Amino acid sequence: MSEDLSGRRIAHYRIDGVLGRGGMSVTYRATDVRLGRKVALKVIGEHLAPDAEFRERFVDEARNTSAIDHANIVPLYDFDEVDGLLYIAMRLVDGQDLSGHIKEGPLTPARTLSLLAQVAEALDMLHGKGLVHLDVKPANVLVTQKEGVREHVYVADFGLTRRGATGHRTRTGDFLGSPTYAAPEHLRGEPVDGRTDQYALACMLFACLSGRPPFQGGVQEVIAGHLSNVVPALSQVVALPPAIDDVIRKGTSKDPAQRYANCAELVNAARVALAGVAQGSAPAQLGPQSGSFPAQPPVSGPMPVQQGQYQGYQQQLQDPVRLRPPNQVGVSAFTSSGRKERPAWFAPVIAAAVAIVVIIIVVVILSPGDEPARQPKTSSAPSLNIGDETTSNKPLPTSVPVRTSR
């Protein structure tokens, strides 16, 4: 578990307290001391800081969120790395995530349709840009009140968002994300598109109206349900017309081609199916059918509030699913994504080669060339050319007379 950074300061953000903890990050309530506004500061977990893949996912979340401008997508203010800590500063949503509302029991049909219609609008806009969220679930839907008129929804957590991607896995083949609302093609690592998010939205429709996800139990049970089993009939769990079963069944078809054209079409079909139902009261629970809903808790659920009254930004401790140890990171995650990391021996070898080249150049420059022949000196004074065989063949005298001056 990452250290609590409450009371500390990261860049120009003063951390005031914990909002929620997740599998890869901790989200804090913080104050931007420059602008004097409250923000939600998401900081990557210290235990994942050396993991290149999670750092990449964290940076992807910031880039993907900043590239999207929509009323139902949580606005991003800033992201950076300080002293090895990656952080994202977002709007502080004073409210609760959708998983907290579902935990309290089934929602009314009217409220369900109002909230999910906003989610569908945000997702369809995302899909129109060629992006897929890949982690649509109640914990990533923040619910607040905007201008006191109605509940307003923000879709958050774009760490798995991809463009033209296959089901997101690590380089070692592990699945990343929560399997509770994951589509079969996502779990299998097959190509994904907007219909993958639509599958998750249909599962959320089931959860909002029943108070629980369609498949429960251990991780493998949940995965097996999404891969092989039909979603249980909602009308046998709560008092709703069978027409809603057809809507959910189509939205959660194992074959993406059999699903709705987009998320808005799914919500509109649900609205038609629930038209004759009392919209202002929650559907009465009929109880799980035999074998449909095991008594075990869901594979992942909302974390309890860490501090204060805020209940948004909560993540699951079991999310993401990770089966292998992390890879080590050699460079900052904020370096260019297209640059390949060089092996550790590369720099010393290059330095040695450069040194050898420099030495060779210095030797060549300083080595003397062919000197020109020296000219004999002319002087009026007598001189001796010792050993000069070209000028004289006489033997050297054994004594030289010296004239003294008077």
Q: Where does the chain hold its CATH 3.30.200.20 domain(s)?
A: 9-91
Q: Write out pLDDT tens, residues 158-182.
A: 766 655 444 444 444 455 667 899 9
User: Nearest 10 degrees: CA dihedral of 11, 71, 193, 180?
Assistant: 70
Taken in order 216, 221, 227, 231, is the CA torsion positive or negative? negative
101 or 328, which is more confident?
101
pLDDT band for position 37 (cuts 50, 70, 90): very high
Q: How far apart are CA 320 and CA 23, in angstroms?
A: 6
CA nearest to 309, candidates 96, 147, 32: 96
CB neighbour burial string for 106-137, b if at least 16 within 10 angstroms, e if fewer: bbbbebbbbbbbbbbbbbbbbbeeebbbbbbb
Q: How far apart are CA 258 and CA 132, in angstroms?
A: 18
Q: What are the catalytic residues? A: 135
Q: Write out pLDDT tens, residues 203-216.
A: 999 999 999 999 99
Q: Tell the burial category of 219 from Cβ atoms under 10 Å away from its Cβ (0-12, 13-18, 19+).
A: middle
Q: Write out pLDDT tens, residues 378-387.
A: 544 444 444 4
- Look up tokens 């990557």; give the residue: 44
Q: How far apart are CA 135 and CA 24, in angstroms?
A: 14
Mean pLDDT of 40-62: 75
pLDDT at 215: 95
CATH of domain 96-273: 1.10.510.10
Q: How far apart are CA 302 and CA 104, in angstroms?
A: 11
Residue 118 has pLDDT above 90, yes or no: yes
Residue 333 has pLDDT above 50, yes or no: no
DSSP-derived 3-state class of residue 194: helix
pLDDT band for position 72 (cuts 50, 70, 90): very high
Instruction: Return phi, psi of residue 27, to 5°.
Output: -105, 130
Residue 324 has pLDDT above 50, yes or no: no
Beta carbons within 8 Å of 329's beta carbon, 6+ residues apart: 49, 50, 51, 52, 55
Residue 262 has pLDDT above 90, yes or no: yes
225 or 51, which is more confident?
225
| Alpha-carbon distance values, 10 to 5, 25, 58, 118, 298 (Å) | 9, 15, 17, 33, 35
Mean pLDDT of the chain: 75
Q: Where does the chain hold its CATH 1.10.510.10 domain(s)?
A: 96-273
Mean pLDDT of 47-52: 68
Mean pLDDT of 216-224: 92
334 or 345, which is more confident?
345
Q: How far apart are CA 320 and CA 4, in angstroms?
A: 20
Q: Write out pLDDT tens, residues 346-376.
A: 777 788 888 888 888 878 887 765 555 555 5
pLDDT band for position 330 (cuts 50, 70, 90): very low
CATH of domain 9-91: 3.30.200.20
Expressed in percent and rounded to 5, the helix, strand and coil fractions of the chain are: 30, 15, 50
pLDDT band for position 85 (cuts 50, 70, 90): confident
pLDDT at 245: 97
pLDDT band for position 400 (cuts 50, 70, 90): very low
Q: How far apart are CA 273 and CA 249, in angstroms?
A: 13
Q: How far apart are CA 4 and CA 305, in angstroms?
A: 14
Binding-site positions for ATP read 42
151 or 284, which is more confident?
151
Q: How far apart are CA 145 and CA 95, in angstroms?
A: 8
